[in-house]
Every structure is written in C-alpha cells, then in structure tokens.
Amino acid sequence: MKALPTLPPDDRELLDRFLDGDLSEKEFSAFQDRMRDSPLLRDHYFAAVHMDTLLRKAASHVDSPAPSLSPTKVPRKTIPLAVLGPALGFTILLFAALITWGLLPPPIAELTSAEKTRWLSEEPSSSLYRGQELHLAAGQLELQFRSGAVTRLFGPAHLTLVSPNSAFLHYGQAYTVAEDPRAHGFTIRTHSGDFVDQGTAFLTTAQLDGFSQMHVSSGAVDAVIDGFGTQRLGVGSGVGIEPGDVPVLIHVEPGKETSDFDFPTLPPPSSTDYASTFSCEAQLVSGSEENAQIAPHDQSGPPSLLFDGRAQTFKDEPGESLYLQNGSDGSILIDLGQEIPISHIHTYSWHLSIVNPGMKRRAVQRYTLWGCGEERETTLPTTTHPRGWRRIARVDTDTFFQVRQEEDRPAQQVCALSSNGPSLGTYRFLLFQVIPTPMPDGIAPHHTFFGEIDVFRAP
C-alpha cells in the first residue's frame, strides 16, 4: 500500500462508480479505455481493490461468536417467516411435494450453524442429503441429523453423510452429542473403525493416513474395529487405531490416582510380563546424536525401574519415575534380549505436583513407538525415513483426553497397545521417542514420569 498522486476528477468519478457497481454499459466501456491508457488510474484501481479486500476481511470478523464446545446448546438457524417471499414459499412447497411423492430423497441432516467456515467443496445449503460430501477447509459447523444426533465438525475436515444416523469421517474432528433416544446407535465411521453411540457424547478424530481415535465425554461408546471386535468404552476412556500391516489398537484410561493404579478396564502394572521377568535393559538415548546415551533427569530413578513390576507409590515421586532432563530431546530404548513376538505393551504414568498444586504436566504420555529385530538399527527413525525401524504406534494421551487446560489431564494414566492379530510384531528393540510437555515461556519443556512399561510376549 502506498500514497499516490491525486486522480483527475473524471477518472475518480468513474472509478468510484465502477466500484459501487453503478456504471452504465457505455460508462463501463469508457472506464476500460481509461484503464488501458492511464497508469495512474490503474494504480488507484489497485489501491482501491486492495483496501476493499482488507475491509471485506475485517467485516467478515464482525460479530463472529466465540467457538464453543458446549454439547447442549445447539443454536438452530431460524429463518423469519415474515421475510420469506412467495417465490421461496413456492419452492419449499414444491420440494416438500417432490419429497412426499418420492421424486426427491428427503434430507438426512440440517446445517444448523456455521462459524468462520471456508470450504474446499461447494458451500452446502441448510438441507443435507445422503451421500453429500462436506469438505471444510477451516472453521466449524453443527449438523443436526434426522435421528436427533448433533455433530460439530471442526475444519479442516472431510465428512460424508451416510444416513440419518451415521456419517463417515475421512479426516478432521467431529464432536457428537446423541441425547435424543432416536439417536441411540448413531455411528461415526472412519477408515479404521466405527464408533457407535450408546447414549453419549464423544469426540472422533481421523487423519488422512488412516489413524483415528475417539474419546468418550459422557455415557458409553462401542468401538467396532475390524479384527478387534467390539469394545465398549466408558466416560473418560479413549481408543485409537494406528493403521498399517498390523493395525494397532491404542486404549487409554485414567486411573483412580492411588498406588494400586486402578483403571476402569485395563490392569495395573504387571510383575509377570516379559520385560519384568527376563533380563531386559532400558537406556536413554539422544534424539539428535546417533548412538549417544544420555542421562536421565538428576532426580529421576534409574531406567531399570520400568521393569520392576510396580509403578509409583505417590503422586509426585521423581525417584520412582524415569524421565528425561527438562528440555532434552531423547528416547527410551528397550532391549528385550532377544527377538520375541509381542502381544501387547502397557505404559503407566502418574504425576500431580505437590510443589505446584494442580499441575500434572508430567502425567501425559506422548511418544512414537518403533520396533526393530535382532540387529539394532543405530540410526534414529523418522516418519519418512524409518531406517529399518517399524513404527508401531503414535500416542498422545492429551488428545485422547481432550486436554485444553491443566485440570482436564488425568494425573494417572495407562496406555495399552495391542493388535488384532497374534502379535504387534516380532521385535528385540523398542524405541519410545518421547515428546515433552510444552511449558510457559522461559521454562524448558518437562518430560513424563514413566513408572512402568510392561511388554507381554505373544503365545
């Protein structure tokens, strides 16, 4: 944007009236001629459309309601009937008649609200039909299905409307509230599993690579996953599916925050798993320097505590936890001593700070787990360059538990990884690439208090 010399009055008049959409055909022709001939008019024209763009964008932000996740307050778009003209009324009647006569399928859902939406597909009308695709680039919207279920879709997302009581989430996040009895059994399908309401509210997340996960906010949900059967999940629980040759089920639960490590369905730490029974070794390795062993945090316990058959005895017990130095980038490397088929892996954490009451920053479990066979690959793997490692699962319990504030995060957590086949794979080395919890400015990221890692051998 730059200051320009003043425009001659005739050109100014033409430009202003063009921008107002107020030129006759003859005047428009004259305007085009002047635009060809006058670089100054063109510069003013560019400046005007530049300002027009900025103002339109500013206007689009006016009165936009703040995003809300409240599942109970679903605003219904109401159209004042008094302003509907006869033509629109006729159109509605015609559609109603066509639907009644069976010439048009009835809509299966309604778009009841939209906030700051940008579309990659054609912007839909308020009535939505079977098979309709919603490609949302940004923003969020709410859909009310004919069954009564309400789904809030968060962009970017791609959702296909399947029936009055189901939808397919290709990627993105969808929060569903199915309080209406007619909505019992409402299903969000994904590439890797179906999540079936049993009187509940739940959040489904799907990624393009097939990874999907679901968290239950209230009631219960059945996760129906090929090869895994049906698993009923209660409040606070989450499940994820890591796709691949061997799909991996990621099941996360909050504990009751006692030294018994009591969870709704998953077991407490085991002293009979393979890692606790045989001479397995754990060490911390650098995330940036190949083959470099690193020390844990000064107050951390030794790596061997991961296999002692028990986790922490208190909510803030550094010496009974394994954790990295603040701000460091590293991994937990486990050597099982020999290649074994692994049926499942459980990881346990517990942290509720006694120094900073309410803080549970070291409770979250965030890692990518890799495995390799008898020959340990010394080069660290990445998503695009696995370098001989095989990715087993990506875990982020904060996303399962929908942690937006510290209080949302359970202080005690278990994450269970299992497969739909006989084993997760045959591995000797397991590499947990751990990711620390971001901290406020000026404080180095903090790492998780891992109390136990159980590795179970497949029969």
Partner 1 sequence: METDTSHPSESDFAALFVQHETAFRAYARSLLPTWDAVDEVIQTASLVMWRKLDQVDLPDGFLPWGKVVVRFEAQKYCRTKARDGHVFDPDLLDLLATAQDEEAEPDWTREQAALDHCLSQVSDATRQLVFAPYQGHGFLTELAEASGRTRNSLYKQIRRIRGKLEQCVLEQLAQSPQPPSHPS
Which residues bind to partner 1, rule: CB under 8 A? 1-3, 16, 18, 20-23, 25, 28, 32, 35-36, 42, 45-47, 49-60, 62, 118-123, 135, 137-138, 155-156, 158, 171-172, 208-209, 287, 329, 381-384, 433
Nearer to partner 1, 3 or 87 (CB): 3
What minimum distance in Å lies between the beta carbon of 138 and partner 1? Answer: 5
Nearer to partner 1, 281 or 329 (CB): 329
CB-based burial label for 434 (10 Å; 0-12, 13-18, 19+): buried
Nearer to partner 1, 6 or 70 (CB): 6
What minimum distance in Å lies between the beta carbon of 18 and partner 1? Answer: 8
Give the position of tokens 């939808």: 167
Give the position of tokens 């079936």: 196
Q: Look up residue 91 and give its two tokens.
A: 């159109």
What minimum distance in Å lies between the beta carbon of 41 and partner 1? Answer: 11
CB 331 within 8 A of CB 380: yes
Distance CA 418, CA 399 (A): 19
What minimum distance in Å lies between the beta carbon of 296 and partner 1? Answer: 20
Distance CA 446, CA 434 (A): 11
CB 383 within 8 A of CB 211: no
Residues 6+ apart with CB under 8 A from 122: none
Nearer to partner 1, 137 or 439 (CB): 137
What minimum distance in Å lies between the beta carbon of 209 and partner 1? Answer: 8
Nearer to partner 1, 32 or 304 (CB): 32
Nearer to partner 1, 381 or 451 (CB): 381
Could you list the beta-strand ranges (E) of 295-438: 330-350, 366-372, 390-396, 412-419, 425-434
CB 11 within 8 A of CB 44: yes
What minimum distance in Å lies between the beta carbon of 64 and partner 1? Answer: 13
Could you list the beta-strand ranges (E) of 178-267: 187-189, 194-197, 201-206, 212-218, 221-225, 229-233, 238-242, 248-254
Nearer to partner 1, 28 or 314 (CB): 28
Distance CA 146, CA 341 (A): 47
The helix/strand/coil state of 128 is strand
391 φ/ψ angles, rounded to the nearest 5 degrees: -75, 125
CB 159 within 8 A of CB 126: no
The helix/strand/coil state of 275 is helix
Distance CA 203, CA 188 (A): 10
- Report the half-sphere exposure of 12 (CA within 13 A, side-chain side): 6
What minimum distance in Å lies between the beta carbon of 132 and partner 1? Answer: 16
What minimum distance in Å lies between the beta carbon of 201 and partner 1? Answer: 24
Nearer to partner 1, 304 or 382 (CB): 382
Nearer to partner 1, 100 or 382 (CB): 382
What minimum distance in Å lies between the beta carbon of 205 and partner 1? Answer: 12
